Copies of this chain bind each other. A is one copy, B any other.
Amino acid sequence: MKQHFFHAYPAINHALSEVNQLINDRITIKNSQLHDALQQMASNGGKYLRPAFFLLFANINKSAADEQAKLVKIAASLEILHMATLIHDDIIDDSPKRRGAVSIQAAFGKDTAVYSGDFLFTVFFDLLVETMSSSPYLTRNAKTMRKILTGELGQMDNRFDLDQSLLDYYRNINGKTAAIFSLAAEEGAYFGHADHHTINLAKRIGQNIGISFQILDDILDYSGDERLNKPVLEDLATGVYSLPLLLALQDHRSKLEPFLTKKHQMTVQDMEQVQEIVISCGGVEQAKIIAEKFTKKAQDEIQSLPNTRARKLLATMAKKLLTRVN
C-alpha cells in the first residue's frame, strides 16, 4: 500500500502491512497473470483507507490483543470489497488506469475483469464467514454491498441527465462511497467492543467522512489536480454530473446546455469550456463549502468519541484526507 500516508503512525502502518499480507495470501488464483495483477493492485496503489478507518475505530475502545488476527481479517474484507467494486467500476468507465497502473479491464479485457471482481467477492465472503458469522454484521455487509451497487446503478441511470437533483447526487454518492466508510467505522467500533452509543456515532462519522471524501474527489475532476492518478474530467466525459457541475447548472444552465447536450460527442475543447464555466460560476467553490460542512461535522463528532490515542490519529487522518483540496 502507499506507505507514505501512514508512515507517521507505526501502529497503524504495522497493522496495515498485516492486512496487505493477508490480502496477498488470499488472492491465489490459478491464472498467473491475473494473480500478479491482483497482487499488484493490492500492494502498490491503495491507501488502505477503509481498513485504516476500521482499525482506528476498533481501537477507540480497548480491544483484546488476541483479537488482532480477527481485526486484520475484517480490515482486509473491507479493502477486498473495495477492490472488487473498483474492478467492476473500471469496466463501466472503460478506465485505462487504476491506482497509477493499468486497470485489470485494460490489461486483461472486460471478461477477465468481470470474473476478477466476482472472485474477490468470494474472498470477501470467506473473510466475513470466518470472522462474523454469528454477528449481525454479516447481513450489514451484504446490505452495504447492495448499497454500493444501488449507488452505482443510480449514477448510471442519471448519466447525461440535466434535470437530476442534488438529492439524486447525494443518494448516489452515499451509496457508492459513503456506505463502505460508514460500515468500516461502525463495524470497527462494534468489533472493538465499543458501546451502543459509540457504534452509532462511528457509523455517522464514517458516513460524513465518506460524503466529504467523494465531494472532494469530484471537485478534483474540475480543479485539475492530478494527485489521484485519475484523468481529469473523466466523469464529465462519461456523463456523470457531479456536485460542482450540478451547482453550476442551477443558475447557469443556458451557458452549459449547448455543450452538455452533445453528450458523447463532446470534444476535449467542449469539456474544457464546461470546466471553465463550472469554475467561473462558482460551482467548485460552492462544492468546497459543502464538503467542508460534512468535514466539520465529522470532525466535531470525532471529538465526541472517547478520548484515546486512536481518536487523535483519527482526527489527524480525517484532517489530512479531507483538506486535500484546500
Q: Which residues of A contact B (CB under 8 A)?
A: 29-31, 34, 88, 91-92, 110-112, 114-115, 117-119, 121-123, 125-126, 129-130, 133-134, 138-139, 141-143, 145-146, 149-150, 152-154, 156-157
Contacts and interface: CB of A to CB of B under 8 A. Distances in A.
Given A29-B153, A125-B125, 19 more contacts: A30-B150, A88-B118, A91-B111, A112-B153, A115-B153, A118-B118, A118-B145, A119-B153, A121-B145, A122-B143, A122-B145, A122-B149, A126-B139, A126-B143, A129-B138, A129-B142, A133-B133, A133-B134, A133-B138
A31 B155 CA distance: 11
A253 to B, nearest CB: 26
A98 to B, nearest CB: 15
A61 to B, nearest CB: 25
Task: Give the interface SS of chain A, mostly helix, strand, loop or mixed.
Answer: helix
A153 B88 CA distance: 16
A153 B31 CA distance: 8
A122 B110 contact: no
Given A129-B139, A139-B129, A149 B91 contact: no
A119 B154 CA distance: 13
A112 B149 contact: no
A136 to B, nearest CB: 10
Contacts of A152: 115
Tell which of A91, A130, A143 has the most Cβ of chain B within 10 Å: A91
A187 to B, nearest CB: 15
A134 B154 CA distance: 34
Name the residue among A88, A141, A142, A150 with the largest chain B CB count within 10 angstroms.
A142
